[in-house]
Chains A and B, each alone.
Chain A
Amino acid sequence: MAEQTNQDSTKSLMEEIGITDREIANRCAFLELGEKDIKELLGIDPVAEAYADPVIEDFYKHLLNFEETRVFFQDRQVLERVKRAQKQYFARLTRGNYDKDYIEDRLKIGAVHERIGLPVKAYLGMYNFYLRNVAARLFDEYKNDREKALRAFLSLLKVVFLDMGLAIDTYINRREQLIGKQQEAMRELPTPVLRVRERLLILPVVGVLESYRAHQLTEQLLESIGTTRAKAAIVDITGVPVVDSRVANHLLQTVSAARLMGATVILTGLSSQIAQALVAIGVDLSQVKTTVDLQSGLEEAERLLGYRLVPAGDKARSDQLHP
């Protein structure tokens, strides 16, 4: 199951996981993977070549029996492509040279699996299935030299565990990166509450509005309404990519709570896409004052607060009106 990824990202993957020549030597030493094993493995390479096809066939029959793995092979072409790649992958196990290039290649393959979301348990299960099948075939092949079959199998086990360690490392590495990124995204850049005029607040919301932030937004808004005795608050959601029923519900509740405190909330910056989605979902925003953009929201708020609106041309006069 392999697909090419670009060279650079794998290079940095090697660095990220900390694969150096020394680290490779260290991993091999820990597994006691040495010259003898390489010789054993090279020795069974022709046999491995012969059992490659039937083992792959059984392997994919097995994978197609499970929902977790079947989803990846809905398409015949994909299945064939992946089978070929998998055959190469297995074939490589008995070819020696477990060096930096080998490791790089293995990491690349691990990363592809991680990216498509193959669960670790499936990854390990696949190695297990493979090893059991190969064991049966080796012992069958070397009926008269079971010692040899065992030696070869144990050597193969070491290489497979080297691979498994690398695969799991790519998963952990990706997960760590993801957690870092998410923490950044979720780090509640608390929405600022801007007091633009006496009794008028603006809350520009940027980024995803998940339950925690939505909750925070409500608290901040209500608290500010309390302390500033604001009569109007503009919640601008221009920077929010998705509003689903839960977020909409949250906004509705916030609006009602603000109303109880004597303030009107004006929702601005509802994009046409979000508006369409909300209509399709069936959220009823008819009780909420909404405007397309912040500008018209401000105008609406000023009207509510009893400011007189003056055309922009009459600037001098408007300045007099707003000392």
Chain B
Amino acid sequence: MTDVVQITVRSDADIILVRQQARMLAKELGFSSSDLTLIATALSELARNIVEYARQGEIVLSQIRQGSRRGITIIARDRGPGIADIERAMLDGYSTGKGLGLGLPGAKRLMDEFEITSSLGQGTTVKATKWAR
């Protein structure tokens, strides 16, 4: 029984590892297989952003058990450059790189709850939760 797992991400290999861990934790909580894929995809977006823009950071995965409610929370945290304009970063198609600019807004749609905080020069933290149905 694991409640919380924290994983440092710096590379593609770490992203794969994080996704595997998340699938395991979510499966224990009874998430459906399509939800597992949605969670893994959201996580992939957040972890990739960390590797791409902040070089490294941490992903914390926690299982939530509140009464009969089950959920999984992803915290993606880095001390990278931060995001200058969060509102724009959350728009579909906005990318400062060569991406599709769908990672952040996509991750938000994939999860049930989504919060992002960021400050320039300090880093970025995303907290997102998905509840099992």
Contacts and interface: CB of A to CB of B under 8 A. Distances in A.
Interface of A: 3, 67-68, 71-72, 74-75, 78, 115-119, 178, 182, 185-186, 208, 210-212, 241-246, 248-249, 271-274, 276-277, 280-283
A271 B58 CA distance: 30
A66 to B, nearest CB: 12
A212 B6 CA distance: 25
A277 B38 contact: yes
Contacts, number: 111
Interface of B: 1-8, 12-13, 15-17, 19, 33-34, 36-38, 40-41, 44-45, 48, 58, 60, 62, 75, 77, 92, 99-100, 102-103, 105-107, 109-110
A260 B37 CA distance: 33
10 contacts: A68-B58, A71-B60, A71-B62, A71-B75, A117-B58, A241-B40, A245-B102, A245-B103, A249-B99, A281-B41
Contacts of B45: 244-245, 281
Given A210-B12, A273-B33, A244 B103 contact: yes
Nearest to A118: B6
A231 B3 CA distance: 52
B124 to A, nearest CB: 14
A271 B40 CA distance: 14
Contact of B40 (A3, A242, A246): A242
Nearest to A278: B41
Contacts of B38: 273, 276-277, 280
A281 B2 contact: no
Nearest to B34: A273
Contacts of A208: 16
A251 B15 CA distance: 19
